[in-house]
């Protein structure tokens, strides 16, 4: 029987990968899908089992290993869901109103902070994020280079992090 990898701290692994798995699951299923948290727990449990049983032998990075489990499980979920819906139209489960209200508050706080940024950052966020112009078109309209467009979104992110501290980022932290 293969041996479990003794060098992997499973608690630490769960702590590191829970947000990453949550991020991927929510992007794939939509942020209001009520099943996302269960799916994250299931994926983590699978990863822990496979590491404990020695199925993960370290041929790839742990991240790649867990990413693979994640995308397979999501694909299964979508397949199963469409099969179920083929037979029984499922009523959509309403999202948790308390969670929605909290998320809305956080988004408002962040929007406030964005509104208070210097005009040169706001202009980039307006054209590139809000109007969804291409990087090149955004650059052309602002008279800067396309590389500067990316630099400014990154710099805006750092300013917002400084301003919002521990509240940021908040949208991708499962189980908070």
Q: Kindly tell me which of 41 and 167 has the beta carbon lying closer to another protein.
A: 167
Spell out, one character per residue from 97 to 126, where the chain touches another protein: x when CB under 8 A holds, - when not.
---x---x--xx-xxxxxxxxxx--x--xx
Confirm or reject binding of residue 24 to another protein (CB under 8 A): yes
Q: Kindly tell me which of 1 and 59 has the beta carbon lying closer to another protein.
A: 59
Label each residue of the chain as H, E or C: CCCCCCCCCHHHHHHHHHHHHHHHHHHHHCCCCCCHHHHHHHHHHHHHHHHHCCCCCCCCCHHHHHHHHHHHHHHHHHHHHHHHHHHCCCCCCCCCHHHHHHHHHHHHHHHHHHHCCCHHHHHHHHHHHHCCCCHHHHHHHHCCCHHHHHHHHHHHHHHHHHHHHHHCCCCCCCCC
Spell out, one character per residue from 55 to 84, where the chain touches another protein: x when CB under 8 A holds, - when not.
------x-xx-xx--xx--x---x--xx-x
The least CB distance from residue 53 to another protein, in Å, is 21
Measured in degrees and rounded to the nearest 5, phi and psi for residue 171 equal -75, -15
Considering only 18, 46, 150, 174, the residue that binds another protein (CB under 8 A) is 150
Residues engaged in binding another protein (CB under 8 A): 16-17, 19-20, 23-24, 28-30, 33, 61, 63-64, 66-67, 70-71, 74, 78, 81-82, 84-87, 89, 92, 100, 104, 107-108, 110-119, 122, 125-132, 134-135, 141, 150, 153-154, 156-157, 160-161, 168-172
């Amino acid at each position: 029987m293969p041996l479990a990898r003794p060098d992997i701290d499973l608690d630490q692994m769960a702590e590191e990968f829970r947000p990453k798995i949550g991020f991927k699951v929510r992007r794939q299923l939509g942020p209001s899908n009520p099943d996302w948290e269960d799916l994250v727990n299931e994926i983590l449990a699978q990863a822990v089992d496979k590491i404990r049983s020695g199925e993960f032998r370290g041929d790839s990075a742990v991240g790649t290993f867990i990413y693979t489990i994640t995308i397979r499980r999501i694909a299964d979920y979508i397949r199963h869901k469409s099969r179920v819906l083929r037979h029984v139209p499922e009523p959509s489960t309403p999202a948790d109103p308390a969670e929605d209200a909290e998320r809305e508050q956080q988004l408002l706080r962040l929007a406030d902070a964005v509104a208070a940024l210097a005009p040169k950052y706001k202009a980039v966020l307006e054209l590139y994020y809000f109007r969804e112009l291409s990087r090149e078109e955004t650059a052309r309209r602002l008279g800067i280079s396309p590389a500067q467009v990316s630099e400014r979104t990154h710099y805006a992110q750092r300013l917002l992090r400084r301003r919002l501290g521990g509240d940021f980022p908040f949208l991708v932290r499962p189980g908070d």
